[in-house]
Structure 1
Amino acid sequence: MKFLVSHEVLYRTTVEASNEKEAADAAEDLPYEEWDSSTTTREDVVPLEESPLNPMAGG
Structure 2
Amino acid sequence: MEKQIRIKLVKSFIGRPKDQRLTLRALGFVRVNQVVTKPDNKQIRGMIDKVSHLVQVIE
TM-score class, shorter = under 0.3
TM-score for both structures, normalised by structure 1: 0.25
TM-score for both structures, normalised by structure 2: 0.25
Report the structure, 1 or 2, having the larger strand content: 1
